[in-house]
């Protein structure tokens, strides 16, 4: 302060108030200080500092709840905080302070019906008090009788009273609101609304300007980018609508075209192939999964379709043309359903993945109640599922008339932790885990990873589905394999898996060691060929790309570097290291886009040219702005162009390659 002399800042006086309470808000106004403390009720203190060396309490008034911010208005105060008289709700209060010795509450209004919250509780800039317009604008969100709401509340500010008027609804959290000429401008993180509030009880939105949108998956097509908003059900603050947008590849925030999708269900999976975009939308159920006898008393007798496929021509972007669509009624897809698209053969699209569910014999959620006393007793195991095990096929050979073919559900047998799917010559390969009761099943020379006797163990199995007849796919008998499937090679004769080795004595208490295993598969059994011990430090991701296997090797000591290693299986059946290169940190995830390999390292992404897998060449290391989560599996890139990384509500991050000299 300018008044501070060479002796610095020093204390003039002090006053004690609110013993045992917490300080929530203060505001200085001329010779008075207004203070809010809280323990069970909210005292508003008025402190006289006309004699700064001897401050004294002039008066107080107690109100349920507490205030976070105080706005003096002459002989009135307006505050915003939380009211505790009927659950915790955002509250605005008006006080009369014309007599500092006898402050009085004139009026209070609480927002929402149950609990509610406002950004103004932590940032006063969200609390817009306009005395000249007799108006307060306050963003809040909370639960109402008809569900969750995110709104701007209009409040009449009179000299002696407050009154709730109408609200301005946003699909996501509103941040600020202000008055400009005869309009209220209401701002959220995704849009700017222009609102006519001539009738304050019924404000009307006159215009909407999109400011941001969620980008959950991208496809780079020539000089353009296809951006998808999936609209997943878990969107906590107002579910966005699923969307398909076209932008320039070098300007992902500039929308050239926005395509109206056939329905408002979330996008569950998508793929681009030969100039066509395939989009799967579906209804993610929140209830129980079907019973073991395929019945579900909670489902309607003639339920409507719950899965939809649309095919678009994207060969002449930014133009997009709907070619055809179809729908199907399949078993419930599960909560958080998500699918990848694979192509076992030309014209046959298979959605692989699914949604979660759990099996509980006590609640009849997932399996029928077992026979016997008390539904089978407490000894009955409870199984659960995860995102996987569903393979839903469509004939898309005629884009104008796609049709449903078949639905294979492998997740009905207490199988879980399904791997991604891989396709070879009309076959779809994936793996699952299952809990085996003791004694273990089979122990012979062909078993690849036998557990000891008298243990409950988790084992891995290979699932192969033959789509020679895609309308009636044949499911082969599961085959025991050493771990989770990471890739297939040599036309499906060679399997790569990652898992623990129960034949390692230290693994009874599992020391974190995993192995990369190569197994030969003859269509009936799998036979172990060779094993490569991975680092016992985490993470150590594995990516199979043809005959090359990329492994992230984290630093195990301060003198050893983090590495990206390349391996292959030699003609002699032995793992052979082809090369290695240093990383700036431990790789958490690896993904390839042709000969472009992306390594996620914390919040950074390093791009490598792996045209020669024996010598991966670092192209660039970059990181998205801010600290945000991203999924490399939803990104797209090319060796000559770089990487486009979807960041959800933060848009798209473009990792461009450095210019070549």
Write out pLDDT tens, residues 166-204.
Answer: 999 998 889 999 999 999 999 998 899 999 999 999 999
Rounded Cα gap, residues 264 and 261, in angstroms: 7
Indicate the range of 12-26, 142-156, 463-477 predicted with least confidence.
12-26
In terms of DSSP bridges, do strands 484-489 and 494-499 run parallel, antiparallel, or are they unpaired?
Answer: antiparallel
| Residue pair 196/204 in contact by the 8 Å Cβ criterion | yes
Please spell the DSSP secondary structure of 60-111, one letter per residue. Answer: EEEEESEEEEEEEETTEEEEEEEE-SSSSEEEEEEEE-SSTTS-EEEEEEE-
Q: How confident is the model at residue 218 (pLDDT cuts 50, 70, 90)?
A: very high
Instruction: Specify the pLDDT at position 558.
Output: 85
Beta bridge partners of residue 195, listed in sequence order: 184, 205
Residues of the chain above pLDDT 90, percent: 63
Residues 291 and 410 reside in one and the same domain:
yes
Supply 296's token pair: 């579900």
Q: Are residues 38 and 168 in the same domain?
A: no
CATH number of the domain at 624, please.
2.130.10.10
4 in a structural domain: no
pLDDT of residue 543: 98
Has residue 199 been placed in a domain? yes
Is residue 293 scored above 50 in pLDDT? Answer: no
Q: How many domains does the chain have?
A: 5
Sole residue written with tokens 């005959």? 547
Q: How deeply is 239 buried, as exposed, middle or buried, from its count of CB atoms within 10 A (0-12, 13-18, 19+)?
A: middle
**How far is CA 178 from each of CA 171, 428, 502, 625, rounded to the nearest angstrom?**
19, 57, 65, 29
pLDDT bucket at 508, cuts 50 / 70 / 90:
low
Last residue of a domain, one of 90, 110, 130: 110
- Residue 508 is part of which domain span? 419-534
Q: Would residue 2 count as lying in a domain?
A: no
Residue at a domain's end among 505, 534, 563: 534
Per residue in 360-408, pLDDT tens?
Answer: 444 333 344 444 444 444 334 444 445 689 999 999 999 999 999 999 9
Q: Which of 211, 244, 268 is the last residue of a domain?
A: 211
Q: Give the pLDDT mean for 594-599.
A: 97
- The answer to whether residue 135 is domain-embedded is yes
Highest mean pLDDT, choosing among 46-55, 234-243, 294-303:
46-55
pLDDT number for residue 357: 57
Q: Do 379 and 245 share a structural domain?
A: yes
In this predicted structure, what is the pLDDT of residue 222?
94
Please answer whether residues 655 and 625 qualify as being in contact, where contact means their C-beta atoms are separated by less than 8 angstroms: no
Query: What CATH code is carried by the domain that includes residue 81?
Result: 2.40.128
Tell me: pLDDT of 470 over 90. Answer: yes
Same domain, 271 and 401: yes
522 and 553, same domain (yes or no): no
pLDDT of the residue at 383: 41
Q: 6 lies in a domain?
A: no
In a domain, 657, yes or no: yes
Residues 205 and 123 both lie in one domain? yes
- Helices (DSSP H) in 30-138: which residue ranges? none
270 and 327 within one domain: yes
DSSP letter (8 states) at residue 439 = S
Band (241; pLDDT cuts 50, 70, 90)? confident
The whole-number pLDDT of residue 366 equals: 39
The structure tokens listed for 300 are 């309607």
Q: Is the pLDDT assigned to residue 32 strictly greater than 70?
A: yes
What average pLDDT score do residues 589-615 get?
96
pLDDT-derived band of residue 580, with 50, 70 and 90 as boundaries? very high
Pick from 91, 142, 139: which is nearest to 113 by CA? 142
Per-residue pLDDT at 625: 79
Report d(CA 623, CA 542) in Å as an integer: 22
Q: How many CB atoms lie within 10 A of CB 652?
A: 20
- The answer to whether residues 266 and 254 belong to one domain is yes
Which letter does DSSP use for residue 418 in this model? P
Find, among 276, 265, 351, 270, the residue nearest to 311 by Cα: 276
Question: Mean pLDDT over all residues of the chain?
Answer: 86
Q: Domain for residue 661, yes or no?
A: yes
Q: Where are the alpha helices (DSSP H) in 211-320?
A: none
- What CA–CA distance (Å, rounded) separates 466 from 476? 8
- Give the number of residues written for the chain: 661
What pLDDT digit, counting tens, does each position of 481-490 carry? 999 999 999 9
Q: How far is CA 236 from the centre of its chain?
A: 10
- Residues 88 and 139 grouped into a single domain: no
The answer on 184 and 83 residing in a single domain is: no
Question: Does residue 3 belong to any structural domain of this protein?
Answer: no
For residues 293 and 392, membership in a common domain is answered with yes
User: pLDDT tens-digit profile of 555-570?
Assistant: 988 889 999 999 999 9
Give tens-digit pLDDT for 347-369: 999 999 988 754 444 433 334 44
**Each residue of 399-446: pLDDT tens digit?**
999 999 999 999 877 788 899 999 999 999 999 998 776 555 555 555
Specify whether 251 is located in the same domain as 364. Answer: yes
């Amino acid at each position: 302060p300018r008044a501070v002399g060479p002796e610095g800042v020093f204390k003039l006086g002090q006053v004690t108030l609110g013993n045992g309470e917490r300080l929530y808000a203060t505001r200085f106004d001329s010779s008075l200080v207004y203070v809010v403390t809280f323990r069970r009720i909210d005292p508003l203190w008025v402190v006289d500092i006309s004699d700064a060396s001897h401050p004294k309490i002039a008066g107080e008034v107690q109100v349920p709840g507490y205030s976070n911010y105080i706005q003096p208005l002459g002989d009135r105060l307006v505050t915003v905080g939380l009211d505790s008289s009927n659950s915790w709700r955002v509250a605005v209060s008006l006080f009369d302070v014309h007599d500092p010795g006898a402050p009085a509450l004139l009026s209070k209004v609480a927002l929402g019906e149950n609990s509610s919250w406002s950004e103004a509780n932590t940032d006063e800039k969200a609390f817009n008090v306009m005395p000249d317009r007799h108006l307060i604008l306050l963003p809040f969100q909370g639960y109402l009788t008809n569900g969750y709401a995110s709104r701007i509340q209009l409040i009449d500010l009179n000299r002696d009273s407050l009154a709730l008027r109408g609200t301005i609804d946003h699909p996501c959290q509103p941040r600020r609101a202000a008055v400009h000429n005869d309009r209220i401008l209401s701002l959220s993180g995704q849009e700017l609304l222009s609102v006519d509030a001539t009738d304050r009880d019924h404000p009307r939105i006159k215009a909407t300007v999109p400011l941001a949108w969620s980008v959950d998956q991208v496809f780079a097509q020539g000089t353009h980018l296809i951006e998808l908003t999936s609209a997943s059900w878990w969107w906590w603050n107002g579910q966005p609508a699923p969307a398909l947008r076209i932008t320039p590849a070098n300007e992902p925030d500039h929308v050239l075209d926005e395509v109206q999708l056939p329905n408002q269900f979330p996008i569950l999976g998508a793929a681009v192939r030969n100039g066509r975009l395939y989009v799967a939308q579906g209804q993610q159920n929140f209830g129980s999964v079907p019973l073991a006898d395929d019945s579900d008393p909670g489902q309607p007798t003639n339920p409507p379709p719950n899965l939809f496929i649309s095919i678009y021509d994207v060969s002449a972007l930014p133009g997009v043309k709907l070619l055809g669509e179809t729908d199907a009624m399949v078993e419930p897809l599960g909560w958080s359903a998500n699918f990848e698209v694979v192509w076992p053969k030309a014209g046959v699209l298979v959605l692989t993945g699914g949604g979660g569910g759990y099996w509980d014999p006590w609640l009849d959620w997932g399996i029928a109640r077992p026979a016997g006393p008390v539904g089978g007793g407490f000894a009955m195991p409870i199984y659960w599922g995860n995102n996987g095990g569903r393979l839903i096929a469509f004939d898309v050979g005629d884009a104008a008339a796609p049709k449903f073919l078949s639905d294979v559900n492998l997740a009905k047998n207490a199988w879980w932790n399904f791997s991604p799917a891989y396709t070879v010559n009309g076959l779809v390969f994936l793996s699952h885990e299952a809990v085996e009761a003791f004694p273990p099943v089979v122990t012979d020379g062909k078993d690849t990873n036998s557990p000891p006797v008298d243990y409950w163990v988790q084992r891995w199995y290979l699932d192969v589905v033959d789509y020679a007849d895609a309308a009636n796919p044949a499911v082969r008998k599961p085959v025991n394999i050493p771990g989770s499937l990471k890739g297939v090679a040599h036309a499906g004769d060679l399997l790569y898996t990652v898992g623990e080795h129960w034949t390692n004595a230290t693994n009874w208490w599992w020391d974190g060691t995993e192995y990369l295993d190569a197994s030969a598969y003859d269509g009936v059994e799998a036979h172990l060929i060779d094993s490569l011990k991975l680092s016992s430090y985490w993470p150590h991701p594995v990516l199979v790309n043809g005959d090359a296997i990329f492994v992230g090797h984290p630093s195990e000591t301060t003198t050893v570097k983090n590495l990206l290693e390349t391996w292959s299986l030699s003609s002699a059946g032995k793992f052979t290291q082809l090369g290695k290169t240093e990383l700036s940190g431990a790789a958490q995830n690896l993904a390839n886009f042709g000969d472009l390999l992306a390594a996620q390292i914390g919040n950074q992404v390093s791009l490598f040219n792996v045209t020669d897998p024996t010598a991966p060449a670092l192209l660039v290391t970059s990181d998205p702005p801010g600290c945000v989560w991203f999924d490399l599996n939803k990104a797209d890139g090319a060796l000559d162009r770089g990487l486009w990384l979807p960041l959800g509500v933060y848009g798209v991050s473009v990792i461009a390659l450095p210019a070549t000299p």
